[in-house]
Chains A and B, each alone.
Chain A
Amino acid sequence: EAGVVQSPRYKIIEKKQPVAFWCNPISGHNTLYWYRQNLGQGPELLIRYENEEAVDDSQLPKDRFSAERLKGVDSTLKIQPAELGDSAVYLCASSLGGTGGYGYTFGSGTRLTVV
């Protein structure tokens, strides 16, 4: 099993430029999450999907961030335009959901640097 796959691993862009991250969750995991992790902090949820539906996007800065999960599998997270404060690691995670105690499986993340 490949686990949660994310790309790219690293991205450096100039401010005001757009950027996109891609995530392929574990097969069979209907729940997909995008988290942002700033240096020295815990991950913070941006958006949660159940299949193709965004069921919690309350923490997503909608003026510049957007996400989609077409067909309920892969997902992309986009920032347009990027700001210096967006520099962080963007983590995708998936889970079986429910109370089975399986936890979240995180991808390796995309480290974004905005200069």
Chain B
Amino acid sequence: GQQVMQIPQYQHVQEGEDFTTYCNSSTTLSNIQWYKQRPGGHPVFLIQLVKSGEVKKQKRLTFQFGEAKKNSSLHITATQTTDVGTYFCAGPGGSEKLVFGKGTKLTVNP
């Protein structure tokens, strides 16, 4: 079935450094969603990308959807301790269900 692969699995940064996580699919995706899960919390929807080459920004977060719609990235500029958590990408797995990647766990050293 549909799978989305995320790298890296873990990322540790100093506060103020940038962070990027990547999501790759072997097949073309109609859309991709990103979620953030704080430690001990539940996934929270961040954004959905639909168009080829789409770039969306939310404050310090920049989301990109590849031209071939097979990959996506999330970039955080100047990380803060509030950015700590696991970031998941999720793509359609057929019949309107989402298939989640394994996530990238971000830790930030103050």
- Which residues of chain A have a CB within 8 Å of any CB of chain B? 31, 33, 40-45, 48, 55-56, 91, 97, 99, 101-109
Within B33-79, the residues touching A (CB, 8 Å) are 33, 35, 41-48, 50
Give the chain B neighbours of A97 by CB distance below 8 A.
96
Q: How large is the interface on B (under 10, 10 to 19, 20 to 34, 35 or more residues)?
A: 20 to 34
State the Cβ distance, A16 to closest chain B Cβ, in Å. Answer: 28
B100 touches A43 (CB 8 A): yes
A45 touches B93 (CB 8 A): yes
Give the chain A neighbours of B20 by CB distance below 8 A.
none
- Which residues of chain B have a CB within 8 Å of any CB of chain A? 31, 33, 35, 41-48, 50, 88, 90, 93, 95-103
Give the chain B neighbours of A41 by CB distance below 8 A.
102-103
Q: Do A43 and B43 form a contact, CB below 8 Å, given A99-B31, A103-B35, A103-B48?
A: yes
A48 touches B96 (CB 8 A): yes
State the Cβ distance, A97 to closest chain B Cβ, in Å. Answer: 7
A101 touches B96 (CB 8 A): no
Determine the distance from Cα of A97 to Cα of B98 in the docked complex, in whole angstroms: 11
B101 touches A101 (CB 8 A): no
Q: Do A42 and B45 form a contact, CB below 8 Å, given A48-B96, A55-B95, A103-B35?
A: no
Q: List 10 A-B contacts (CB under 8 A).
A: A41-B103, A43-B43, A45-B97, A48-B95, A55-B95, A91-B42, A101-B31, A103-B33, A106-B43, A106-B44
State the Cβ distance, B37 to closest chain A Cβ, in Å. Answer: 9
Determine the distance from Cα of A101 to Cα of B45 in the docked complex, in whole angstroms: 10
